[in-house]
Amino acid sequence: MVNDSLVASVRAFSRFYTNSVGALRYGDYSLTEARVLFELAQCESADVADLRKDLDVDAGYLSRMLTRFDADGLITRAKSTVDARRQVIALTDKGRAAQRELDDASSAQAAALLDELTEDQRGQVVGAMDTIRRLLGGEAKDRTLVLRPPRVGDYGWVVQRHGELYAREFGWDATFEALVARIVADFVDDHDPAREAGWIAEVDGERVGCVFCMKADDEIAKLRILLVEPSARGTGVGARLVDECVRFARSAGYERITLWTNDVLSAARRIYQRAGFVLEKEEPHRSFGADLNGQYWTKEF
């Protein structure tokens, strides 16, 4: 079941979007009317029934909208040559001119929204919009996943995203972020490249996950700070990161790889199980401002 706080976040974003980005319009035309004009501008003509289905517009509302467009001289109507019961519409020259003005005005408003942001903030906003469009639009499967070593700037991102995501999703406090910071600092300050490594997962150039393989002793490796961004969950990113960590540990000569997690992290636990990890022991503890049940997992080579 989806967490109530996540549902509340989606609803809050929807209200914000409707009041700002979703309010882009021109003159007396609403957002839905603008969508219809845009779709009509992409073709020579359109079947009304198909248009209603594609845009998911109420039949009565679309009929009133087209009546207005007709009265304003923006469209022409004709019976379909394939089925006389169906109606085909097309933009007139006046309609295409109106749509171009609408498009220009909407672009100007979008530019105004971005104008007050820094270049970095603009990239973040547009990147987030692309992520929403790809995931909710069903395009995520077409994206390219790359695993690469961490670079300067990635380490701070690892710490920040762990702190932000675990606070938002589980209510953990800043002591967890501090723990991740110590782990990352130890890795950067003193790791053996032959026996320790880290990976950043990127999808189309965007960081979406990470994992680190660190030395416990000469025989045992540790899988540490696995993270997958919400936008990439369910796409196989977590499994790829864990598999790469296990492959490295085996090739580096370790006899086993271990990890410590908590049972509330159910999605990660399923990934570990599929990768062949076995639960060795559990113990309750109070950490990060929460009562938790810690778990120790091991995979033998």
Cβ density class 194-208: b for 16+ within 10 Å, e for less: ebbbbbbbbbeeebb
What tokens does 219 get? Answer: 């025989």
Query: Distance of CA 133 to CAs 126, 138, 158, Å?
Result: 10, 8, 25
pLDDT, tens digit, 9 for 90 and up, residues 204-248? 889 999 999 999 999 999 999 999 998 888 888 999 999 999 999
92 and 157 both lie in a single domain: no
86 and 153 in a common domain: no
Same structural domain, 24 and 151: no
The pLDDT tens digits of the residues spanning 136-157 come to 776 545 567 889 999 999 999 9
Note the pTM of the prediction, 2 decimals: 0.56
- Structural domain containing residue 99: 4-116
Q: What are phi and psi of 209, to 5 degrees?
A: 180, 170
**What order of strands is seen across the sheet that includes strand 75-79?**
46-47, 87-91, 75-79
CA distance 182 to 160: 13
Instruction: Tell me how many domains the chain contains.
Output: 2
Q: What is the CATH number of the domain that holds 289?
A: 3.40.630.30
Q: At what angle do helices 93-115 and 119-136 cross, to 10 degrees?
A: 130
Interatomic CA distance for residues 127 and 114, integer angstroms? 13
Query: Where residue 87 sits, what CATH number does that domain have?
Result: 1.10.10.10
Do 73 and 184 lie in one domain? The reply is: no
b/e per residue 138-167 (b: at least 16 CB within 10 A): eeeeebebebeebeeebbebbbebbbeebb
Is 122 within a domain? no
pLDDT tens digits for 38-91?
888 877 888 888 888 888 888 899 999 999 999 999 999 998 877 778 889 999
| DSSP letter assigned to residue 141 | G
- Return the closest-CA partner of residue 277 out of 257, 247, 252: 257
Q: What is the pLDDT of residues 203-213, one digit of tens each?
A: 888 999 999 99
Between the CA atoms of 91, 92, 94 and 95, what dihedral angle is there, to the nearest 10 degrees? -10
